[in-house]
A and B are shown apart, each in its own frame.
Chain A
Amino acid sequence: MSLVLHLDEVGARHRHLAGGKGYALAVLQRHGIPVPPTLIVTTRAYEEFVAATGLRGRILLELRRKSFQEMRWEEIWDLALRLRHLFHTTPLPPDLAARLRQELAPHLPERSVVRSSAPGEDSRQTSFAGLHASFANVAGLEAVLEHLKLVWASLWSDAALLYRRELGLDVRKSAMAVLIQEMVVGDRSGVAFGQNPQDPAQAVVEAVYGLNQGLVDGTVEPDRWLLDRATGQILAYRTAPKGEVLLPGKEGVRLAELAPAQRQEPPLNEAEVLQIYRLVRRCEEIFGAPQDVEWTFKGGQLVALQSRPISTPPPEGEGDQRPWYLSLRRSFGNLKALRRKVEEELLPAMNREAEVLAAKPLKKLDEAALKEEVISRSRSYRRWKKVCWDDFIPLAHGVRLFGQIYNDAVKPRDPYEFLDLLGAAGMLALRRNRLLMEMAARVREQPELLEEVRRGQVRDPELQPLWRTFMEEFGDLACGSSTCGLSSETLASLLEEMAHRSIQAERFDPRKVEDLQGQFLSRFSGEKRVEMAQYLELARASYRLRDDDNLYLGKIAAQFLRALEEYRRRGGELRELPADVQELGGELTATPAKGPGAVGVTGLGRLKARQLIGQPASPGLARGSARVVLTADELFQFRAGEVLVCDALDPSMTLVVPLAAGIVERRGGMLIHGSIIAREYGIPCVTGVPRATRLIHTGDPLTVDGYLGIVILG
């Protein structure tokens, strides 16, 4: 059976086989609208691939590890990364590859755009943009086949997984067709909406110089015309600052400087705007609903690249954060600017604010002023928390972007190998642990020094500078969400434990990092290599900043709690504070609930977890006694060789990580603090274990399998 359809073969009965975009292009062509020459690899090829390679079963296993309701968006991203990796590293079965080659080769354009064409995509509910992948300027049959798999994989992209219910995503039924289009190198391109989503009486035309990928992924800002939907009369025109243009590179696309003459000129004249308006209205006539059309002008000819119903993302329910999540996918340029802002403005400002607050003598404030101070500090915390959401979390996308690039280039066995290249070693939490270990080494030599630490008066000439630096930089940092209070006493007992046991040292090895880096960069040459080095640099910065921000925010939180404590010490009533301040105080000091591990089953008996599934976050196998840590007290009771079980490992808890045999965490994700630190120390770690702190008890014998992501009790 044929795996490839040509546009002129596609009829109504091929709608599913060709997918939404493929079908729409065939219809446009039949109506005489110029479209690029297009081959359609039907859904049959996808189905054959996932069946013959066993991938369908593997996808199902991945999806079934955990219920979606219990997944954080980071875990969904991780899931999508693993699935993409499966597609990427699973070769096409020889027979399938041979048939695809045979059918594609005679008609393959010199340069192609490889685009997704999901069935059902032509319906209004499921056509919203940005779910699946497209690749421009792919040259050669083998490269096309590689990209084919990546487009297939995007059926399971993080965005698609987030909207799986609306899309009806189902391992047994869902499939993906792929378009192989001749790459039309237009001089001006854009999108047009037959109906403005913001104003139904208008139509919209957006245009850029060069390829329209720049517009679609947000790298290049378009000029924009609003038109009267009924008459096509131009109502408004907004020009955009024009400096860059997206052009085909040797492979893929590249950003270049726009010629000076074009910077002042709109990409379209009025007649051309009108021509595009007519095209989009004609498409609407053909399909019977307002369309979203991608177009390009090549040598004066207007070509329709795709047409689909105007997307209406599913209505947002209350608290639906999916649109926010989708907005995190940012371009390289955008992330570079964000990094500058975070590194040069936000983090220093946050640190300064923490220092100013720390220096303020609370004891000298009168009651009214102290109350004001508590309120103002709570506002400060909330303001910075918002900055975290608005700027720091989006910056973490730099790591994701790099992970994808690395996996595409290197195809490593472990899809998280790229993390080793990012060098967590520079992180503040690790710097603090290094200080602790140096102090512990001194205490090992002279155990009587512990007494000095315990008294808070260290005189030993070797220990004192370490101790002083530690207290100055990190003294307030033991204060996190639930683990406040690093007293001299607890610091001493921590050092004692560290001094007496052999503990994990970081496995950071500069040579290994260099090797990995060389291996990665050697796959590129020339300009591309420079660009890739920049991606790596951005990823390193965002990896580090994303973790350090937790510590900085912890400092602000500590200052709020300090003022609140002083307020209460003087007999101030909590209920006299504004509700949001009371709430924040509760939130920052609350202890996550610990529940019975044996959950009674109605009418049956005692229930006990024997083996729990999470995500393999750091490889290795560990066995030890569980220590469930929810409070500061529990943290400082931690003994070497125990398995740390916690709700969410925050940087304030990292202190004891070098003592731990293994780590189990309720919160999931590969880029969370716990996973990063565990990998750095080479400690087996499983994250994303729902209700870990309820089902596991201190003292339970635990086995942590960091290869498989499972935790065995008993």
Chain B
Amino acid sequence: MTDATEIHQILQELLQGQRLAVLATVAAEEPRRPYTNLIAFTATADLKEVLFATPRATRKFADLTATPHVSLLVDNRSHRETDFGEAAAVTVLGTASELLEPERERYQAIYLAKHPYLRDFVTAPTCALIRVRVEKYILVTRFQEVHEVVPAS
């Protein structure tokens, strides 16, 4: 059993510590199957928002513009058999939207603090910064122990 403090800590470690996540969107075009992407993400300090950047011409941008309900998977697997007992994974359910000025500047600073090497990418005029407002975290530890956290509004 993982207790509340431990859960908070694991969430923090995953969301602040990991650099990459799998983003799932619903395809804008038929057949509207789930579409997954590897993205560089960060989360705000209160863990209520998740940020990532994407060129506007991409399929994922089109997808989330059509259907803003997205999910992300963040995990700390090491691709070894020990993962089955030791890795933790969190599924983030939320609603995505593009950040526009004047808000964008503040969020861009948060994003670049974690990914300074992506400055040129993020600041390109064709790149959108996306915010996902988190509705629910679903955390899996010990292979099959599952907890749900709903951020306070």
Which A residues contact B (CB, under 8 angstroms)? 54, 56-57, 60-61, 63-67, 70, 171-172, 599-613, 689-691, 708, 710
Contact of B1 with A70 in the complex, beta carbons under 8 Å: yes
A605–B144 contact, CB under 8 A? no
Asked if B58 is at the interface (CB within 8 A of a chain A CB), the reply is no
Contact for B145 among A60, A63, A612, CB less than 8 A: A612
Binary contact readout B82-116 vs A (1 if CB under 8 angstroms, 0 otherwise): 10111000000000000000000000000000000
**Do B148 and A601 have beta carbons less than 8 Å apart?**
no
The residues of B that contact A608 with a CB separation of less than 8 Å are 147-150
Q: Is the interface of B mostly helix, strand, loop or mixed?
A: mixed
Complex: A373 Cα to B142 Cα, angstroms: 51
**B47 touches which one: A64, A171, A604 (CB < 8 A)?**
A604
- Assess whether A609 is in contact with B147, with CB atoms less than 8 Å apart: yes
User: Is B85 in contact with A60, judged by CB distance below 8 angstroms?
Assistant: yes
Closest residue to A714 on the B side, CB-wise? B148
B26-78 interface with A by 8 A CB criterion = 46-47
Is the beta-carbon distance between A610 and B148 smaller than 8 angstroms? Answer: yes
From the candidates A64, A66, A710, name the one contacting B86 in the complex (CB within 8 A). A64
Interface string of B116-153 (1 = CB under 8 A from A): 00000000000000000000001000111111111110
Given A57-B84, A172-B82, A601-B7, residue A613 in contact with residue B145 (CB < 8 A): yes
Please measure, in the bound complex, the distance between the C-alpha atom of A172 and the C-alpha atom of B147, giving whole angstroms: 28
Residues of A close to B150: CB separation below 8 A: 605-606, 608
Contacts of A171 in B (CB 8 A): 82
Residues of A within 8 A of B138 (CB): 610
Distance in angstroms between the alpha carbons of A689 and B147 in the assembled complex: 14
Does B1 contact A57, Cβ atoms closer than 8 Å?
A: no
Residues on B with beta carbons closer than 8 Å to the beta carbon of A612: 1, 145-146
Tally of B interface residues using CB under 8 Å: 26
Contacts of A599 in B (CB 8 A): 3-4
Residues of B within 8 A of A607 (CB): 4, 7, 147-149
The reply to whether B85 and A610 form a contact with Cβ atoms under 8 Å apart is no
Give the shortest distance, in Å, between B45 (CB) and chain A (any CB): 9
- In Å, the complex CA distance between A237 and B143 comes to 58
**A172 to B83 Cα, complex, angstroms:** 12
Chain A, residue nearest B153 (CB): A605
Q: Which residue of B lies closest to A67 (CB)?
A: B1
The answer on a CB contact under 8 Å between A605 and B152 is yes
16 extra A-B contacts, CB within 8 A, seeds A61-B84, A605-B150, A611-B146 = A60-B84, A61-B85, A63-B85, A64-B84, A604-B151, A606-B150, A608-B148, A608-B150, A610-B138, A610-B146, A611-B145, A612-B1, A612-B145, A613-B144, A691-B1, A708-B144
**B1 / chain A contacts, CB cutoff of 8 Å:** 66-67, 70, 612, 689-691
List the B side residues contacting A604 at CB < 8 Å: 8, 11, 46-47, 149, 151-152
A60 pairs with B142, CB closer than 8 A: no
Q: Which residues of B contact A57 (CB under 8 A)?
A: 81-82, 84-85
What A residues does B3 contact at CB under 8 A? 599
The CA-CA distance from A606 to B151 in the complex, in Å, is: 6
Task: Determine the chain B residues whose CB is within 8 A of the CB of A609 once the complex forms.
Answer: 146-148
4 A-B pairs with the lowest CB-CB distances in the bound complex, closest first: A64-B85, A57-B81, A690-B1, A611-B146
Given A60-B84, A604-B11, are A65 and B149 neighbors across the interface (CB < 8 Å)? no
Min CB gap A59→B, angstroms: 9
A64 to B2, CA, bound (A): 11
What chain A residues lie within 8 Å of B7 (beta carbons)?
Answer: 601, 607
Which one of A172, A601, A690 contacts B4 once the chains associate, using CB atoms below 8 Å? A601
Bitwise interface map of B from 1 to 29 toward A, beta carbon under 8 Å scored 1, else 0: 10111011001000000000000000000
CA distance A607 to B81 in the complex (A): 29
B144 touches A60 (CB 8 A): no
Complex contacts, A605 vs chain B, CB 8 Å = 149-152
Can you list 29 A-B pairs with a CB-CB distance of less than 8 A? A56-B81, A57-B82, A57-B84, A57-B85, A60-B81, A61-B84, A63-B85, A64-B84, A64-B142, A64-B143, A67-B1, A172-B82, A600-B4, A601-B7, A601-B8, A601-B149, A605-B151, A605-B152, A606-B149, A607-B147, A607-B148, A607-B149, A608-B147, A608-B148, A608-B150, A610-B138, A610-B147, A612-B1, A708-B144
CB nearest to A691 among chain B residues: B1
A689, B1: Cα distance in complex, Å: 8
Q: Decide: A602 and B81 in contact? CB cutoff 8 A.
A: no
For the complex formed, measure the closest distance between the CB of A227 and the CB atoms of chain B, giving whole angstroms: 50
Q: Give the complex CA separation of A472 and B131 in angstroms.
A: 70
B111 shortest CB reach to chain A, Å? 21
Question: Which A residues are CB-close (under 8 A) to B5?
Answer: 602
In the complex, the chain B residue whose C-beta lies closest to that of A602 is: B8
B85 contacts across to A, CB distance below 8 A: 57, 60-61, 63-64
**Chain A's nearest CB lies how many Å from the CB of B145?**
5
Give the shortest distance, in Å, between B46 (CB) and chain A (any CB). 7
B contact residues around A172 at 8 Å (CB):
82
Given contacts A66-B1, A601-B149, A606-B152, contact A54 B81 (CB under 8 A): yes
- Chain B residues positioned under 8 Å from A66 (CB to CB): 1, 142
